[in-house]
Amino acid sequence: MITIAPSVLAADPLAMKSAVVALGDDVRLLHLDVMDGRFVPNVTYGPGLGKALCGLDLAPVEAHLMVEDPERHIPYWAGTGVFRLIVHAEATWDLLRTIQRIHGAGFQAGVAINPATPFAPLLEVLHAADLLLFMTVSPGFGGQELVPSVLEKLRRFDAATGGRHPPVEVDGGVGPAEVDAVVGAGARVLVAGSAIFGSADPAAALREMTRRAEAAVRTSATAGE
Ligand code: DX5
Ligand code: ZN
């Protein structure tokens, strides 16, 4: 299964609802980038937008918490309808306890690492995390170029785990041209902001990226990946 997750960070903030609704019925997951101005030099949204997006009843919503001490934020997402909280391994002193607290609060738990962060912490939470997010740009802003070294890191991770790990998500600089490379490296959830909302027809861009990604998965499967 492959999923393209539009990142609303790239949508027009003054037309967020119409931008998301315009994606049509093909959207399977929405990605909400939450930034605190400390873990990353940008400030964006909070639980209120998560609740509003879930209220549209268009697709499941995950929150990518680019925040320091993410465990402090967990309770404020209760009742929003967001189903997954993704925290950065770099942002918490006790990653396993944070995952347990996320689960205890009723959410799925994702763990993210930045491009220059080794994947070693992920090896210690394979049993606990529901999703692993390999940032393919330095977090904080959309519209950046994918950092190619992350794909090599992802291949090393896949080899180190024998392919036995939670689903991998990539986030940042992913457009149609990057689909084959990221799927070939093992990603199965592709976050895309600019490539979707920056296109003239976001619904068509979403369908095209989904088509390419599904074809890339089939190619990987026949190559006996
Ligand atoms: C960056 C965010 C990404 C970003 C992706 O910190 O985590 O989700 O919005 O946007 P594009 O696809 O434009 O790089
Ligand atoms: Zn993100």
Q: Annotated catalytic, 94?
A: no
Q: Is 130 a catalytic residue?
A: no
CA 151 from chain centre, in angstroms, equals 15
Find out whether the beta carbon of 140 lies less than 6 Å from any atom of ligand 1. Answer: yes
| Catalytic-role residue among 12, 33, 69, 130 | 33
Residue 223's pLDDT band, with cuts at 50, 70 and 90, is confident
The reported pLDDT for the residue numbered 1 is 85
Instruction: Name 64's Cβ contacts closer than 8 Å, sequence gap at least 6.
Output: 31, 32, 33, 34, 86, 110, 112, 133, 171, 191
What average pLDDT score do residues 91-110 get?
98
> Which of the four pLDDT bands, split at 50, 70 and 90, describes residue 224?
low
Q: What are 36-57's pLDDT values in tens digits?
A: 999 999 999 999 999 999 999 9
Please report, for the chain, the start and end positions of each structural domain, with discontinuous segments joined by +.
3-223
What tens digit of pLDDT does each residue of 191-212 get?
999 999 999 999 999 999 999 9
Q: Given this structure, which CATH class describes domain 3-223? A: alpha beta
Under DSSP, is residue 128 helix (H, G, I), strand (E, B) or coil? coil
For the stretch 54-76, pLDDT in tens is 999 999 999 999 999 999 999 99
How far apart (Å, rounded) are the C-alpha atoms in residues 158 and 178? 19
pTM given for the model: 0.97
**What percent of the chain is modeled with pLDDT above 90?**
96
Q: Which atom of ligand 1 lies nearest, measured to the CA of 195?
A: 12
Q: Which atom of ligand 1 is nearest to the CA of 144?
A: 14
- Work out the average pLDDT over 135-142: 97
